[in-house]
Amino acid sequence: MPLFKVRGESSGALQSAARRAGLALREDELRRIAEELGRDPTLVEVYAFDAQWSEHCSYKSSRRHLRKLPTSGPTVVLGPGQDSGIVHLGEHAGERYGVVVAHESHNHPSQVVPFEGAATGIGGIVRDVLCMGAEVIGVADPLRFGNVDEADSHQRYVATTVVDGIAAYGNAIGVPNLAGDVFFDEGFNENCLVNVVAFGLVKESQIIHSKAPPGSAGWDVVLVGKATDASGFGGASFSSLALDAEDAEANKGAVQVPDPFLKNVIMRASYRVFEYLRERNITAGFKDLGAGGIMGCTAELCAAGGFGAIVDLDDVSTAQAGLPPFVIAIGETQERLAWVLPPEATPDVLRIYNEEFSLPNVARGACAAVIGAVQTEPRYVMRSGNEVVMDVPIDFLTGTIHDELTYEIEAPRTRDDGEAFLSGFDVAETFERVLAHRDVASREPLYREYDAVVRGTTVLPRGCAAAGVIAPIPGSTLGLAVSVAGNPRYGRCSARYAAEAAVVEAVNRIVCVGARPTGLTDCLNFGNPQRTEHFSQFVAAVDGLAEAASVLQVPFVSGNVSLYNESKGGGAVPASPIVGALGTIDDVSRVVTPAFKRDGAALYYIGRARTAIGGSVVAGVLGVEDRLPPLDLEEQARIVTAMLAAIDDGLIAAAHPVTSGGILTAVAAMGFATLRSRPMGAALDDPSPWCGSESATVEAFFAEGHGIVVEATSEDRFLQTMQEQGAPASRIGEVSARAELHLLSADFQAYARFPLDRLHDAWSAPLREVYG
Partner 1 sequence: MKARVAIPVFPGTNSEEETLRILRDVGLDAEIVHWSRGDRLFQYDAFVLPGGFAYEDRVRAGAIAAHDRMMDAVVDAAIGGKLVLGLCNGAQMLLEAGLVPGTGAIRRPTAAFTHNGPDGKFVCRHVFVKLSVAPERSPITAALAPGALIPAWAAHGEGRLAAPPEHLQEIVDGGHLAFVYTHANGSTDADAIPNQSALGAAALVNVEGNVLAIMPHPERDAWTFNHPDSPEGRAARGNAERMLRPSGGAALFESFAKGLALV
Residue numbers at the binding site for partner 1 (CB under 8 A): 164, 167-168, 171-174, 260-261, 264-265, 355-358, 361-362, 447-461, 471, 474-477, 587-591, 593, 595, 650, 673, 676-677, 772
Query: Is 656 among the catalytic positions?
Result: no
Quote the CA–CA distance of 770 and 772 in Å, as a whole number.
6
Q: Pick the catalytic residue: 65, 88, 103, 106?
A: 106
Which lies closer to partner 1 via its Cβ, residue 382 or residue 654?
Answer: 654
Which backbone phi and psi does 382 adopt, to 5 degrees? -125, 135
CA angle (387 as vertex; 385, 390 as ends), nearest 5: 115
Which lies closer to partner 1 via its Cβ, residue 225 or residue 260?
Answer: 260
| 740-743 vs 753-755, strand pairing mode | antiparallel
Quote the CA–CA distance of 576 and 568 in Å, as a whole number.
19
Nearest approach, Cβ of residue 601 and partner 1 (Å): 14
Nearest approach, Cβ of residue 542 and partner 1 (Å): 36
Which lies closer to partner 1 via its Cβ, residue 452 or residue 582?
Answer: 452
Element (H, E) at 428: helix 427-435
Nearest approach, Cβ of residue 177 and partner 1 (Å): 8
Nearest approach, Cβ of residue 457 and partner 1 (Å): 8
542 Cβ neighbours under 8 A, 6+ residues apart = 62, 65, 66, 68, 69, 499, 524, 577
Alpha carbon distances (Å) from 747 to 427, 701, 753:
10, 13, 13
Query: Within 10 Å of residue 12's Cβ, how many Cβ atoms?
Result: 9
Which lies closer to partner 1 via its Cβ, residue 45 or residue 141?
Answer: 141
CA angle (36 as vertex; 33, 38 as ends), nearest 5: 100
Nearest approach, Cβ of residue 666 and partner 1 (Å): 18
Q: How far separated are the first and last CA of the chain, in Å rounded?
A: 54
Quote the CA–CA distance of 765 and 770 in Å, as a whole number.
10
Strand order in the sheet with 681-684: 652-657, 708-712, 602-606, 729-736, 681-684, 740-743, 753-755
Instruction: Give burial (CB, 10 Å; 0-12/13-18/19+) of 391.
Output: middle
96 Cβ neighbours under 8 A, 6+ residues apart = 88, 90, 203, 204, 205
Which lies closer to partner 1 via its Cβ, residue 457 or residue 725?
Answer: 457
Which lies closer to partner 1 via its Cβ, residue 188 or residue 447?
Answer: 447
Instruction: Give burial (CB, 10 Å; 0-12/13-18/19+) of 648.
Output: middle
Which lies closer to partner 1 via its Cβ, residue 19 or residue 351?
Answer: 351
Instruction: Give burial (CB, 10 Å; 0-12/13-18/19+) of 592.
Output: buried
Which residue, 499, 486, 573, 502, is CA-closest to 531? 573
Nearest approach, Cβ of residue 320 and partner 1 (Å): 22
| 95-105 vs 85-92, strand pairing mode | antiparallel
Query: Is 106 among the catalytic positions?
Result: yes
Which lies closer to partner 1 via its Cβ, residue 471 or residue 633?
Answer: 471
Q: Pick the catalytic residue: 56, 65, 108, 760?
A: 56
Nearest approach, Cβ of residue 162 and partner 1 (Å): 14
Quote the CA–CA distance of 397 and 52 in Å, as a whole number.
7
Nearest approach, Cβ of residue 507 and partner 1 (Å): 22
Element (H, E) at 125: helix 114-130
Active site residues: 56, 106
